[in-house]
A and B are shown apart, each in its own frame.
Chain A
Amino acid sequence: MFEIVEARTLARGIKLFVIEAPRIARKQKPGQFVILRLDDRGERIPLTIADADATAGTVTIVVQAIGKTTMLLSMLEAGDSILDMVGPLGKPSEIENFGTAVVVSGSVGTAMAYPTARELKRAGNKVISIVGARSKDLLVLEEEVRAVSDETYVVTDDGSYGDKGLVTDKLKELVAAGQVNYVLAVGPVPMMRAVANLTAPSKIKTMVSLNSIMVDGTGMCGGCRVLVNDSSQFACVDGPEFDATQVNFEVLMQRNNMYREQERASIERLQADPEAELKRIRDSVHSHECAAEAAAVSHE
């Protein structure tokens, strides 16, 4: 059981949770993720560790509600518990002094890229952050990002805040100026693909963080496989970050659509009676707590 000690909404449909998980907090490194499950009937979903406090024994995640599990998670509050959470999984981001490092992120990707940006800064890089969102009310962690970046550019699709346009417009300028040594892109697949295409001719080292569908997160199922350099790689253990020029984004998008029908059905069921679903996960957590106590007592 992993208790939520803090829960707050950051932007429309995006919520931050601080969760007690001492083992994970001690070990995590930027770029790694957890897999969690909300109740006995739930699925396992991966979420990046956006921050952690080893002393307090907590990890922070930032979640965008886009489907059944993330919507349900977003209904939880401080005091609730997460039934299962495992991590830290995946390889940490590569951190070294590249020179000038540009971190490009879109919407919730900003929370995922933030710890890596912070570490890149610590490693001596000049860090330039380009933060994108569809509109102002979807922007997260802007202040945190500014605090660890030498330069920060905000772009929105609709121009409601920062520059109007796409993150790649800004990146193109920086690349043209010839000052960029390293790029990390985290966000929607089309955005990452656009970044990959943009930096490819200049041979700037570019990494992308792939959000493939996962189950166990330990290399056991192969469900998270992505085509990298024409061979199957497991995003959960070989990634999630890969060299952008090698990634087959088309296959990633196709595979992410694999369960579209079922996902839609699940959302409809949730929306039919969200309170009942919420009660179900709270009951499930509660019954596990009781069972754990009983096991401890019976042995006394």
Chain B
Amino acid sequence: MSNPPTKVPSHNPLPNKERVKLPRQRVPEQEPQVRAHNFQEVNLGFPEEQARQESLRCIECSKPGCIEKCPVSVDIRAVIDLILAGDYLGAASKVREDNALPAITGRVCPVDDQCESGCVLGKKGEPVGIAYLERFVADWERETGQFGSPVSAPATGKKVGLVGSGPASLACAGDLIQMGHQVHVFEALHELGGVLVYGIPEFRLPKEIVRHEIHVLQRRGVVFETNVVVGKTVTIDELMQDEGFDAMFIATGAGLPRFLKVPGEHFNGVYSANEFLTRVNLMRAYRFPEFDEPLYPCTDRDVIVVGGGNTAMDSVRSALRLGARSASIFYRRTLVEMPARKEEVHHAKDEGVHFEMLVNPVEFLGDEKGNLTAVKCIRQELGEPDDSGRRSPVPVNGSEFVTPCSVAIIAAGTSANPLIQSTTPGLATTKRGYISANEETLATSKPGVFAGGDIVTGGATVILAMGAGRKAAKSINAYLTGLVVVPN
């Protein structure tokens, strides 16, 4: 997948010592006080001139740390040079060689752990705004409507079924159709895109962008069928035996919400982040009554969100936009350990989200009607590092306190949805219920069946899911052309 960085003649007129003096461009954003009350995109993206200015900062390293740190090794240095050459479409195509959904990753990649963390400029000052540039070229391509469908290989007559329509499947579909196979995607929900549409809110990733990518795939011949829960509506075996699918790719995500298993979680007003975000994003409850989906009221009430990941940030910022009087993050570790993207944490702070660190709920309290009234928490202190290398929180005896709130959203992680595993004989799973797949080939224990994305790794990132989709496409192609694919 990873291309060796190509040497390109530089289009940067500045000497290196001038480049490093240039300040990082600030991306235009909606003002915090304004955006805290609407669901429109917060980050407005670089205009052309700023994209060029930011590109000028890159010193074109001979061993680019940025590329090393990108999970799919996008040839960032070459992309930046193409921007400087004014060839934005060429730059977009360059990104697409390794990354099928650049308008999406340019918005949601956790760059502080990935590409930007490897940028040499970050050692002394601020790294190049790589994601912003990636987004710029992808948006340019989409907005100018110049996206040329790549020519597909001649039809092979082979049929591949993909389960789920999240980033893993979308990337896989793009590659398989290019290779000349028939591609049919099955999705359980009524809308396509997986977490990109039901989880990540409009203000961070407009649905229009996801829809565009899906249209492009449709135009290229990928067939999408919504309202099919594989394992319920039809099984993997039935698809392969009765409907003629030659291979299958399972990318069903890590869909099950984890609750805290503390008393009172049944009270009205206690939500899993999955339900809260699904109601808000997929069902557009933020536009009630224009849309029918109701939401337990947040307006003028106190909302707390338990957790410290992207899901928690998305929930708390959504609550704020729904008119919450106060919206708080309750996290059992500290800001340093918080897994959310740094940009989202900053955005949340600017918008007025309150952060309560080192606390853990022990009980939810409610009234006689069953409505949530408060949460009882215990304070934590950090002890020894655990398996993940993070210092694990330890409760402080006698430190319990009660905070009134009307809505509590639990963003404590997810686990594997067992629907397919339990209805597919011969499909091996891990101890925690995820599908076992060979790391290199993504082949499962069942011949012709491949799996990737969150259903294999557990909750991870968009770019890793997409990378898995592309890896699977390669193996599936090999399998369909009669090569031996190492199974798990």
Contacts and interface: CB of A to CB of B under 8 A. Distances in A.
A119 interface: no
B294 A263 contact: yes
A43 B256 contact: no
A66 interface: no
B125 to A, nearest CB: 43
A41 B290 contact: yes
Nearest to B218: A295
Contacts of A122: none
Interface stretch (B56-64, B128-136, B272-280, B325-333): B272-280
Given A216-B189, A299-B219, A255 B274 contact: no
Contacts of B338: none
B219 A222 contact: no
Nearest to B290: A41
B228 interface: yes
A258 B419 CA distance: 28
B323 interface: no
Contacts of B259: 222, 232
Contacts of B221: 299
A91 to B, nearest CB: 10
A221 B291 CA distance: 19
Contacts of A223: 271-272, 275
Nearest to A217: B229
Contact of B266 (A27, A87, A232, A269): A232
Contacts, number: 120
A248 B417 CA distance: 25
A44 B256 CA distance: 19
B184 to A, nearest CB: 13
Contacts of A88: 232-233
Contacts of A225: 265-266
Contacts of A259: 294, 296
B294 A262 contact: yes
Contacts of A131: none
Contacts of B10: none
Given A88-B232, A232-B259, A299-B221, A251 B296 contact: no
Interface in A220-241: 220-223, 225, 227, 232, 237
B279 A84 contact: no
Interface string A281-300: 00000000000000100110
B227 A255 contact: no
A68 interface: yes
A25 to B, nearest CB: 11
B272 A83 contact: no
A257 B227 CA distance: 28
A55 interface: no
Nearest to B293: A43
Contacts of A215: 275, 278-279, 283
Interface string B258-269: 010000011010
Contact of B268 (A220, A255, A262): A255
Contacts of B419: 218-219, 237
A218 B257 contact: no
Contacts of A12: none
B266 A43 contact: no
A140 to B, nearest CB: 26
Contact of A42 (B188, B227, B292, B417): B292
Contacts of A73: none
B289 A27 contact: no
A92 to B, nearest CB: 11
A275 B295 CA distance: 26
B323 to A, nearest CB: 15
Interface in B201-240: 218-221, 226-229, 232-234
A37 B190 contact: yes
B266 A227 contact: yes
B369 interface: yes
Contact of B417 (A27, A219, A261, A269): A219
B255 interface: yes
Interface string A244-256: 0000101100110
Interface in A46-98: 68-69, 83-89
Interface centre among B257, B279, B369 (most CB of A within 10 A): B257
A266 interface: yes
14 contacts: A43-B293, A83-B190, A84-B190, A84-B227, A86-B228, A89-B229, A216-B188, A218-B229, A219-B417, A220-B256, A223-B271, A254-B369, A263-B294, A265-B289
Interface of B: 188-190, 218-221, 226-229, 232-234, 255-257, 259, 265-266, 268, 271-272, 274-275, 278-279, 283-284, 288-297, 369-371, 417, 419
Shortest 7 CB-CB contacts between residues of A and residues of B:
A254-B370, A262-B294, A221-B275, A259-B294, A84-B190, A86-B227, A222-B272
Interface of A: 23-24, 27, 37, 41-44, 68-69, 83-89, 215-223, 225, 227, 232, 237, 248, 250-251, 254-255, 257-259, 261-263, 265-266, 269, 295, 298-299
Given A220-B255, A220-B274, A261-B297, 7 more contacts: A89-B229, A216-B189, A216-B278, A218-B229, A218-B232, A255-B266, A257-B370
